[in-house]
Structure 1
């Protein structure tokens, strides 16, 4: 590794560690200096068996137990698990980490589970911008863009909230970037796809939207060789197709296994059991979390759309800017052997557009703020770096927004106030 690369990576890591310390200190301080709007975090240990003696809970664990983490800790208890149907909206990855890290000589401790998982989450959140730096250098061959994107991603909107707490986001971001880095290993592309599929499957173990990462495997196997004009015989093309198919199925496996487990344990007796394809995930998201096409488009949710607007707007601009032109999109998609080979593979544009469309039309739109992590939406940060370079004034506004919003969101999160 070149000395300049090591120096830049060290700079990103140092800045990331410093910002992590600021975020965690702010979260701890503001939790203990304000009255929480919701006391679920403080009361949670009284609902857990054998947790009455956890005297350190209020001091060290409660600041990190907000919103969905209340569910995660309850499910992580050895006598917990998926006790209620609505809990099936969550993938088991973060629950498994909490359960493992909560083990002690005297049994299972919710305080240890939360604190240890929060420490691990912060470590991964420190490393993820460094991984984004290496991924960006591979895509753009530009030190300036790589360094700028990585540094901006440190101050992601959720940097003081979801990325500081025992949530799926730090793990998903880290694992997604590891998989994307594997796909840059040109020496052994098939082996690279196998390793990437393992990391993408692990990411899906934490968030169901990890299945969208499988699109990168298809692009890597079938489109990238054409884009780079790599000659392949029919046998090699067939082999790549079969390997890619197997890798895609492997990425989908964590979600499929959870759906199969749900069917085996809950059916018959649930409305979704009699569907042609009995998937509890879509039913539960609609029935319990009001997720569905256009269901969030109401006047009451306008503030949430306003909160998500910076992420959605920047993501859309990044897609348009890095796709270069509709002609390039058409050529790279349908006639990749005629591609001009511009930087930033179109797979990232498609992936980002798919995630933004889901957020805007189907999901709770405000979770765009949690999705905008270094590994959750890498292209978002590439767009931010280009914006900072090409439109300095807008770039300064963006940097100010990231800094101030991150700190404001941390204070609100500590008080159990929205946005979640």
Structure 2
């Protein structure tokens, strides 16, 4: 049996979503693998993957063998499972699949339902981490929080909630407070939570839930750090291409840690600080994490597809909702101003996203020389016609339609010359852009940076 085909054959959005009690029952049949390691639970709309990346790197620096469960993947299913920040191999994937598959089959024979797509992958992560002897696990929620499969974890060491934006409104609610309420569902009695406090509506909901659960709560706002003018642009890092900046932590009017944030996007400062405060919570709760290990962990974090400089002059970002696009445009504008080069945009998005508002946000500050639209391989992608109509009222420059990510990358790279190409709109498309960029650069002997 091909494990990859089997998993991809499980409906992602259809079928029965099991209750937390049913998920707990399935885990019991797997001998409760989730009880063999401590857990950091991370929810939010934007930035939760980045916070997971920072926390993974910090825990690794502190000497803890760390497992990380994230979603979605960019190119391969294995990317959802990390051991000490590294994507697992095919054999570990196969063994984890087999154990979950056999348990699911036995339960089906007893008339019990099959796990959903996300549930199946979550079970795989739990058995993988237990089998490999993981000491600390960083778990990212799939969607929401309150009813998410990962919320079966009853006693995490800490919870973190990142910025809240309008996304998955069909399932989570149509307002920021409603969505924040779903995300805050991961808060457990007495378990400390660190949360993004920049949106007052969301922050109020999260804090109220923390008070109900008697959970210590700590907000992170722009007052918790200052960004220094010095940047890493032009320096050579371990990837050959180095982007990033420095921030200084503010501790009640006195200076705290000086942190190197190894990403282009300014929004990563907020994510880094959420991770830093969460690491301090972990230290207070029994894990030994020093300030030096926090500094090294932040500096060594890697997170593909989030304003990633994938090649010289090419940036990939998985921003796929209004909040993410707003942060993307701010980051792109800063990069453009710093480098003084002409910008070009490649954009594609899923049909259930608010791409009309996203189009308007994309054109608020940046004067794109041209915009390329792409549908991608997913059947869920918004049509090129719909995307073109979304940009017509807000953008007067040339708009090109491409049948594939490869065609878009090839032609926009030629069109841009020595300018900058930015790709945004979908995490699912980010993997296609990376593959397309590798093909475009293959004849030149240049590879996309991992």
TM-score, length-scaled by structure 2: 0.28
Larger relative contact order (CA 8 Å, sep ≥ 6): 1
TM-score, length-scaled by structure 1: 0.29
| Greater fraction of residues in strand | 2
| Greater fraction of residues in helix | 1
